[in-house]
């Protein structure tokens, strides 16, 4: 049966990496009926809104979307497209597997997962100017969201053969907000005795990630810490061109790379499509298309292992299309 998936190519390098990913999916013989939608800079020019409500509704209706990066125009009046999409559709869990690829020079092999709470914390959008010269951002932490994200992390660990969940917090300073999130994780941990729960303060977690990241297993944390630590994780495995992501809710899921729209290299044809291709692999697994997912993952890993075709962010010379074509050749062989 054909899969029905909404696709948002985004802007900047979005259309380039999206086209490469669609080609790989086609060559892996996955039958997809794409419903094409637009968000980002071009859409602002046409509608005055980078994320028209009709696009959000289309994702809600399709339940699954593959999304390229979208730039949020800087300035008053625009909320981040990514944050709005995640909050409106209640895509509360942001999953970012941080995994090394063969032949990408690293200090050690990394295999950990970051599960980031996606709907609240300092991203709740509750900011105000209390008086001239004094601004306030409210870090919203609820028992419901903190429990949901901890439950998700334990479920993910159980389903993916991981033995440990690490809750990352700063409850020694933010005793009430991070303290609440920590208590929720402990309560959830009580119900999952088969998986070890570790607790770590966020600064210690940053250090552990660069010294011994695999010790963390599935790292679960609030929104801002998760955002920062996932770029750190990307740096550990070769940069933003590599790391995939998924935003998962109870009824919808949007799959997107960790990287942004990379305006510095947009339109030049040499962005690395690995992150979005790996996000598409996560999407296929989410949909139960495990054979196609495994075939693409194996082909991609083989291209890295052989090391002849790689993009400029990894000191190669291949274009985005060359890289996708190399994966397609592997799929055909
Ligand atoms: P955002 O705020 O939207 O997350 P950002 O400002 O953090 O975006 P990115 O757009 O992700 O930044 O880009 C950061 C750097 O990483 C840029 O130098 C960019 O060229 C590089 N980069 C990001 N994605 C890729 C990619 N897929 N291939 C190659 N280089 C990339």
Each residue's pLDDT tens digit, 129-143: 999 999 999 999 999
pLDDT tens digits for range 26-64: 999 999 999 999 998 888 888 888 899 999 999 999 999
Task: Please state the pTM of the whole predicted model.
Answer: 0.93
Atom of ligand 1 nearest to the CA of 276: 27
CATH number for region 1-94+240-333: 3.40.718.10
- Based on the residue annotation, tell me whether 212 is a catalytic residue of this protein: no
Nearest CA to ligand 1 atom 15: 262
Contact 166, 200 (CB under 8 A): yes
Q: Name 326's bridge partners.
A: none
Q: How far apart are CA 174 and CA 216, in angstroms?
A: 22
**What is the Å distance from ligand 1's center to 234 Cα?**
11
When pLDDT is cut at 50, 70 and 90, the band that residue 76 belongs to is low
CATH number for region 107-236: 3.40.718.10
- Based on the residue annotation, tell me whether 163 is a catalytic residue of this protein: no
Atom of ligand 1 nearest to the CA of 275: 27
Q: Is the pLDDT of residue 1 over 90?
A: no
Radius of gyration of the chain, Cα coordinates, nearest whole angstrom: 20
Contact 20, 241 (CB under 8 A): no
Q: Where in the chain is the domain with CATH 3.40.718.10?
A: 1-94+240-333, 107-236
Q: Which of 27, 178, 227, 313 is catalytic?
A: 227
């Amino acid at each position: 049966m054909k899969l029905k998936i909404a696709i948002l190519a985004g802007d900047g390098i979005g259309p380039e990496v999206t086209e490469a990913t669609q080609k790989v999916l086609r060559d892996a013989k996955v039958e997809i009926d794409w419903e094409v939608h637009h968000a980002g800079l071009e859409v602002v020019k046409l509608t005055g809104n980078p994320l028209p409500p009709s696009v959000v509704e289309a994702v809600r209706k399709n339940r699954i979307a593959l999304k390229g990066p979208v730039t949020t125009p800087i300035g008053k009046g625009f909320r981040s497209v990514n944050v709005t999409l995640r909050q409106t559709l209640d895509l509360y869990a942001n999953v970012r597997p941080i995994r090394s690829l063969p032949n990408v020079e690293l200090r050690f092999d990394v295999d950990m997962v970051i599960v980031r709470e996606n709907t609240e914390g300092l991203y709740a959008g509750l900011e105000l100017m209390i008086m001239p010269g004094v601004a306030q951002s409210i870090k919203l932490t609820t028992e419901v969201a903190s429990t949901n994200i901890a439950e998700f992390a334990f479920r993910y660990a159980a389903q993916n053969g991981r033995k440990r969940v690490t809750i990352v917090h700063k409850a020694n300073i933010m005793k009430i907000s991070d303290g609440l999130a920590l208590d929720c994780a402990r309560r959830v941990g009580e119900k999952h005795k088969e998986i070890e729960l570790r607790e770590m303060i966020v600064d210690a977690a940053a250090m552990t990630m660069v010294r011994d990241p695999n010790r963390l297993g599935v790292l679960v944390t609030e929104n801002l810490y998760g955002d920062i630590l996932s770029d750190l994780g990307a740096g550990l495995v070769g940069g933003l061109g590599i790391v995939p992501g998924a935003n998962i809710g109870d009824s919808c899921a949007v799959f997107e790379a960790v990287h942004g729209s990379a305006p510095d290299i947009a339109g030049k044809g040499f962005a690395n499509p690995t992150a979005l291709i790996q996000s598409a692999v996560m999407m296929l697994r989410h949909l139960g298309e495990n054979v196609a997912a495994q075939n693409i993952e194996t082909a991609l890993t083989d291209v890295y292992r052989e090391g002849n075709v790689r993009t400029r962010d990894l000191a190669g010379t291949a274009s985005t299309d060359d890289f996708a074509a190399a994966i397609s050749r592997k799929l055909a062989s």
